[in-house]
Amino acid sequence: MSRFKKFILPLAVFLTGACVLIIEVVDTRILAPYYGNTIFIVSSITGVVLVTLSIGYYFRGKFTDKHFTEKVFYLIILLL
């Protein structure tokens, strides 16, 4: 059981990162028919994703410094 628990946190981080990347690619596909698939559109989407990730990391980091448990971590992932 402890070997499984050792890998569950990195697996959760990997899967959430993959989900963010999938959303970024889907956003590009959704906007492409209307605005094209130029470097400006793709870089704008990437910029927005990186800014929102940074804001989320900052505020969630502040929150989890005070209230960190594994339950809270997985609850945040589940809610978002």
Instruction: Note the pLDDT of residue 25.
Output: 92
Cβ-count burial 10-46 (b if 16+ within 10 Å, e if not): eeeeeeeeeeeeeeeeebbeeeeeeeeeeeebbeebe
pLDDT for the residue 74: 82
**CA 30/CA 35 separation, integer angstroms:** 9
Six-digit token pair at 49? Answer: 């994703």
Q: Cα(57)–Cα(26) distance, rounded to whole angstroms?
A: 22
Residue 13's pLDDT is what? Answer: 85
pLDDT (0 to 100) of residue 62: 86
What is the residue-level pLDDT of the chain in tens, covering all 80 positions?
A: 567 777 888 888 899 889 999 999 999 999 999 998 899 999 999 999 999 989 988 988 888 788 777 887 788 788 87
